[in-house]
Structure 1
Amino acid sequence: MNRYKQFSVFVAVFILSLTTVFSGFINKAEAAEDPLGLNAEAAILVDGETGKVLYEKNADVVLGVASMSKMMTEYIVLESIDKGKISWDQKVKINEYIHKLSAAPGLSNVGLTQGEDYTVKELYSAMAIHSGNAATVALAELISGTEKNFVQLMNKKAEELGLKDYKFVNASGLNNSSLLGNHPAGGANDENVMSARATARLAYRLITDYPEVLETASQARLEFRDGRTYDNFNFMLPGLVHEYEGVDGLKTGSTDFAGYGFTATAKRGDQRFISVVMKTDTRDTRFTETEQVLNYAFSNFNKETILKKNYQAKGQKSVPVVKGKGDSVKIHTKDELALTIKNGEKDQYQPKLVLDKKKLNEDGELTAPVKKGEKIGYMTVEAKGGEPVSFLTEDGEKLAKVDVVAAESVEKANWFVLSMRGIGGFFGDLFGSVASAVKGLF
Structure 2
Amino acid sequence: MLKKLKKLLLVLAASGLFLTGAAGFTQPAQAAVSSYQSQDLSLDVKAAIAIDASTGQVLYAKNANTARSIASMTKLVTVYLTLQAIKQGKLSWDTKVKPTKAIAKVSQNTEYSNVRLDSTQDYTVKQLYQATLIESANGAAMTLAKAVSGNQVAFVKKMRALLASWGIKDAKIYNACGLANGNLGSAGYPGVGKNVENEMSASDMATVCQKLLSDYPEVLNTTSITKLNFMAGSSTQQMTNWNWMLKGLNSYYSDLPVDGLKTGTTDKAGACFAGTVNKNGHRIITVVLGAKHANTQDASRFVQTAKLMHYVYNNYTVTTLKKGTSISGASTIKVPEGKSETSSVVIGKTTTIWVKKGAKLQTALTKTSVASPIKKGQKVASYGFSTSSGKLISLSGKKLTTTAVATADNGTANFFVRLWRSLFGK
1:355 Cα offset (Å): 5.2
Contact 1:334–1:405 (8 Å) recurs in 2: no
1:164 Cα offset (Å): 3.4
1:278 corresponding residue in structure 2: 289
1:16 corresponding residue in structure 2: none
Contact 1:67–1:172 (8 Å) recurs in 2: yes
Q: Secondary structure at the match of 1:354?
A: coil
1:228 Cα offset (Å): 2.5
Q: Which amino acid aligns with 1:289?
A: Q
Q: Does 1:200 align with 2:206?
A: yes
Q: Secondary structure at the match of 2:319?
A: strand
Cα 1:355–1:177 change in 2 (3 A) is same
Cα 1:142–1:376 change in 2 (3 A) is closer
Cα 1:122–1:385 change in 2 (3 A) is same
Contact 2:36–2:62 (8 Å) recurs in 1: no
Alignment of 1:28-427 (within 5 A): 33-185=38-190, 186-225=192-231, 226-244=235-253, 245-282=256-293, 283-305=298-320, 309=324, 311=326, 314=329, 317=332, 319=334, 322=337, 324=339, 328-334=341-347, 338-354=351-367, 357=370, 359=371, 366=372, 373=376, 375=378, 377-383=380-386, 389-392=392-395, 400-406=401-407, 418=416
List gaps (5 residues or longer) in structure 1.
Answer: 1-29, 360-365, 430-442
Partner Cα distance (1:381, 1:94) in 2: 50
List gaps (5 residues or longer) in structure 2.
Answer: 1-34
Q: TM-score, normalised by structure 1?
A: 0.77
Partner Cα distance (1:32, 1:409) in 2: 43
Q: Secondary structure at the match of 2:344?
A: strand
Contact 1:329–1:408 (8 Å) recurs in 2: no
2:3 corresponding residue in structure 1: none
What whole-Å deviation, never above 9, does each CA across 1:156-202 have from its counterpart, x for those lacking one? 11101222321101111001121135421421111101110011111
Alignment of 1:419-438 (within 5 A): none
Q: Secondary structure at the match of 2:90?
A: coil
1:58 Cα offset (Å): 0.3
Partner Cα distance (2:419, 2:175) in 1: 72
Q: Which amino acid aligns with 1:168?
A: I
Contact 1:235–1:243 (8 Å) recurs in 2: yes
Q: Secondary structure at the match of 2:299?
A: helix
Q: Secondary structure at the match of 2:326?
A: coil
Cα 1:90–1:393 change in 2 (3 A) is farther
Q: TM-score, normalised by structure 2?
A: 0.80
1:312 Cα offset (Å): 5.3
Q: Which amino acid aligns with 1:300?
A: N
Contact 1:376–1:406 (8 Å) recurs in 2: no
The answer to which structure has the higher helix fraction is 1
Which structure is larger by alpha-carbon Rg, 1 or 2? 1
Partner Cα distance (1:95, 1:162) in 2: 33
Cα 1:189–1:388 change in 2 (3 A) is same
1:344 Cα offset (Å): 2.9
What whole-Å deviation, never above 9, does each CA across 1:281-306 have from its counterpart, x for those lacking one? 12411000001011112222332046
Partner Cα distance (1:425, 1:264) in 2: 58
Partner Cα distance (1:279, 1:54) in 2: 20
Partner Cα distance (2:193, 2:311) in 1: 40
1:34 Cα offset (Å): 3.5
Q: Secondary structure at the match of 1:127?
A: helix
